[in-house]
């Protein structure tokens, strides 16, 4: 079992069941979009966030990102951690049909994919990240490396997301947050170099 300090926020009961066998942490479910109008649940999420923070782990489809965005706006940013599952096409066993976007949700992820998502979120090595002062990856770095503000930025950003096994819907601001969690500046530059075919970034 993986012990986490944060309360984990998921979309549904099957996501909760899936994670309960993997992590030792409080798990709350939003019941999909119902959380948008559920004041009591929002109050609870704010309370647990104030105590130990929350880790948002929703599906990587449009609905999951909408829920993630909503919750991010309800809690102070310093109290929120984000874990992103990779884009994997498929269907959960219990479902008769594929989801609208054809992607597996949290409940359908293999254990190694979920552990990888937690690792990238920084929750498995939080103390080291907090004590370590390091050069941050900035918006300017993304611009200089052609990941934003240029004619081929979208394709280059998509290539980096695929290279790092991150969901394609990740916004530039979210990408920055994730990059600074999972990579050092030197590791980021190495990834850029490798994507350019081994040339110097």
Q: pLDDT per position in the chain (201 positions), as tens? A: 888 999 999 999 999 999 999 998 899 999 999 999 998 889 889 989 988 899 999 999 999 999 999 999 999 999 999 999 999 888 877 876 777 788 899 999 999 999 999 999 988 754 444 445 678 899 999 999 999 988 899 999 999 998 988 878 888 888 887 888 778 899 999 999 999 875 444
Half-sphere CA count of 48, side-chain side, radius 13 A: 19
Q: Helices (H), strands (E): how many in the chain?
A: 9, 6
Task: Judge if 92 and 189 occupy the same domain.
Answer: no
DSSP-derived 3-state class of residue 115:
helix
Q: What is the pLDDT of residue 127?
A: 42
Task: Judge if 102 and 147 occupy the same domain.
Answer: no
Look at the chain and report how many structural domains it folds into. Answer: 2
**Alpha-carbon gap, residue 171 to 142, rounded angstroms:** 12
Q: What is the pLDDT of residue 201?
A: 41
**Alpha-carbon gap, residue 194 to 180, rounded angstroms:** 18
Task: Judge if 36 and 123 occupy the same domain.
Answer: yes
DSSP-derived 3-state class of residue 32:
helix
* DSSP for 69-105, written as a single string: HHHHTTS-GGGEEE------B---TT-SS--TT-B--
The closest of 143, 133, 148, 115 to 180, measured between CA atoms, is 133
Task: Judge if 114 and 156 occupy the same domain.
Answer: no
Q: What is the pLDDT of residue 75?
A: 95
Residue 170 contacts residue 64 (beta carbons within 8 Å): no
**Alpha-carbon gap, residue 123 to 29, rounded angstroms:** 19
Half-sphere CA count of 168, side-chain side, radius 13 A: 11
Structure tokens at 106: 């949290």
Q: What is the pLDDT of residue 198?
A: 54
Q: What is the pLDDT of residue 165?
A: 83
Task: Judge if 82 and 174 occupy the same domain.
Answer: no
Q: What is the pLDDT of residue 99?
A: 77
* Within a domain: 201: no
The closest of 42, 53, 109, 43 to 80, measured between CA atoms, is 53
Which of 75, 96, 130 delimits the end of a domain?
130
Q: What is the largest CA-CA distance in the chain?
A: 54
Rounded to a whole number of angstroms, the distance between the first and last alpha carbons of the chain is 40
Task: Judge if 64 and 7 occupy the same domain.
Answer: yes
Q: What is the pLDDT of residue 124?
A: 74
Q: Which domain holds residue 91?
A: 2-130
* Within a domain: 23: yes
């Amino acid at each position: 079992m993986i012990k986490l300090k944060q309360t984990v926020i998921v979309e549904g009961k099957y996501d909760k069941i899936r994670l309960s066998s993997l992590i030792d942490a409080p798990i709350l479910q939003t019941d999909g979009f119902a959380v948008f109008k559920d004041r009591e649940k929002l109050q609870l999420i704010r309370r647990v966030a104030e105590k130990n923070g929350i880790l948002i782990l929703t599906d990587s489809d449009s609905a999951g990102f909408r829920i993630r965005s909503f919750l991010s706006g309800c809690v102070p940013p310093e109290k929120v951690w984000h874990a992103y599952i990779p884009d994997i096409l498929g269907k959960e066993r219990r479902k008769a049909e594929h989801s609208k976007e054809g992607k597996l949700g949290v409940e359908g992820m293999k254990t190694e994919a979920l552990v990888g998502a937690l690792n990238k979120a920084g929750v498995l090595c939080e103390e080291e990240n907090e004590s370590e002062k390091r050069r941050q990856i900035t918006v300017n770095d993304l611009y200089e490396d052609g990941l934003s503000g240029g004619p081929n930025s979208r394709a280059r950003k998509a290539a980096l997301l695929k290279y790092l096994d991150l969901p394609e819907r990740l916004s530039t601001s979210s990408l920055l947050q994730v990059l600074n969690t999972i990579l050092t500046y030197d590791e980021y530059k190495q990834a850029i170099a490798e994507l350019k075919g081994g040339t110097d970034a």
